Structure 1
Amino acid sequence: MLKGDGALSRFEDTDSDDSESRSETRRTQQINRLLDQIRETAEKLQKDGATRGDLKLLARSLKELRYAFKIFTPFRGTRKVTIFGSARTHREHPNYKAAEQLATTMSQDGWLVITGAGGGIMEAGHRGAGRQNALGLNIMLPFEQRANPIIHGDDKLVNMNYFFTRKLMFVKECDAVVCLPGGFGTMDEAFEVLTLVQTGKRDIFPIVLLDAPGGTYWKKLDDFIRESLYHDAMISKEDFALYRVTDRVEEAVSEIEQFYKVYHSMRYVRKKLVIRLQKPISTPLLEAIRVEFNDILSEGDIELRDALPEEDEPELESLPRLVLMFNRRNLGRLRILIDCLNAGNMEPASRTFV
């Protein structure tokens, strides 16, 4: 009997090894196809008669992104929060202290902190996180912007020439965004993040607009959004679920960490949206979600199931999934669904936003 069990185990191990080998072969083939596409695009540029300026922009952009990917790759398994805000905020200002407190708390909870590596709010974020928990994406400008002393000279600092490559890295690599008061750059970053999430160009994640205690910078913006954008039907009421305005650091931290209490991540497999969960949900909650969120489906139902074969990500294979044919329009409603998963009940679906 023992001998038979041992033989069975050896067969199972062999099957597992074969499966891993096939997965690795598929990944290698996919990578090679993508590299071929990059080479083919470069050759087409020459055939198209691209100008020297065009080629210089593309070459420098690719070089910047390659290096940034290299720096961030070792930290892909760690949650990260991006902090935006003014480079001109002085150390004694309440906004600076709020950013520093937020970063301190998040780093103590195991998160890394990404900022633009400059002064002001960016320095506050790195000061709160500490050098070992700080990642920097500095922009090279003829004035004002230089790496703050916390991140200066660190291996986790990336100096970039283009705003668009820098912003791509800010959003691509993080699991949450917190915006403190700032100027044109901060407003640009805040609205770009909101636009990317609202349109589904970036997976849903927590977006917090944080004032210092008693501050009204973001509250005034929120009032404008409600009185102008929503009143004139330029956004829907569910879009208010995509961000949170607060003047309390504790509430900002809770908003971020609660988001990952049950929810883990999401991806599309062809037309199916796969929502990975940290743990299974109850049958009554699943049935309630099916009824409440039927409106966001293009067809079919919401299923609780194991990993799809096409996902091909062994490190996430053990996580339970919700699988649905999402209509790819109602991102605010999808955020509310995620809130219900994290709460373990349907209370978030009854919230009023306006």
Structure 2
Amino acid sequence: MRSVALAVTDGMLHFEMALAYEVFASAPAGVTAPWYDVAVCGPAAVRAGLFRLEPDHGLDRLRHADTVIVPGWADVDAAPPADLVDAVRAAHEAGARVASLCTGAFVLAAAGLLDGRRATTHWAHTEVLAARHPLVDVDPDVLYVDGGSVLTSAGKAAAMDLCLHLVRLDHGSAVANTAARRLVVPPHRDGGQAQFVPTPVPDPGDHPLAALFPWIIERLDQPLTVEDLARQARMSSRHLGRRFRAVTGTTPLQWLLTQRIRHAQELLETTDDGIDAVAAATGMGTATTLRRHFNRTVGVPPDAYRRTFHSRAAEPPG
């Protein structure tokens, strides 16, 4: 997945377009593996919000890309340009992985790429997407949906989550974490997390769970329960569950499992520890338990993940 093409046209949201370019256009410091070749593809001149840009290539270049990124589409009440829709459809038919950011899902839906698939977009527009394209299984509650060759994200910050997810798929979690540190964003939010949290997320240190998160991370090798977390946070298990969902958009056990899986990925990439040792270090207990959760979450067994990513992570910084 070396070549990435940004599909742009008048009316694109400049935030999502710039975000994708920032992630894919330059390798993080110390990463020596071949990075992406990025092309901006569109009409001769494009107006995106306050900005005007001149794409490097026409939309016909999309069909030669490994990955096509479709940024947010500003006017969801209007049909996306036919030439953009046709070019995105042709790219997918040619074998490209196609990902939409925010309301870019309307372009993918118009191209027929979401028919019969689960997809998402910004929570404020999910009802419109579902009504206009009834063959699409619209999920209004998630950050992004990975459908293999077709991926969709919710709005704004969730677009960053999807872009980092693509980096993680292509280069492994260690490189994705390095990219996240450069961008000063969280290294991973699972696509299944809620995109809309009804209460505002407090600033660090201003909520009762601020000290709990690092406490958990330091003890991933231990068999923690909700009762253990509640005791550490000095609140009831039920109150902890409510607080956790308000802050993270997910449950304590799901968040804990996600941290265990991510730690397992890092160990598989950066060490030669056996699967039993990785299971013990991540609190999974046994290799069987690790394999079951890892396969369900990541999509491949731990052994296959290591074969794919271990050599890349082991390369010395350049």
Coarse TM-score class (shorter-chain normalised): 0.3 to 0.5
More helix by share: 1
Question: Over alpha carbons, which structure has the higher Rg?
Answer: 1
- TM, length-normalised to structure 1: 0.33
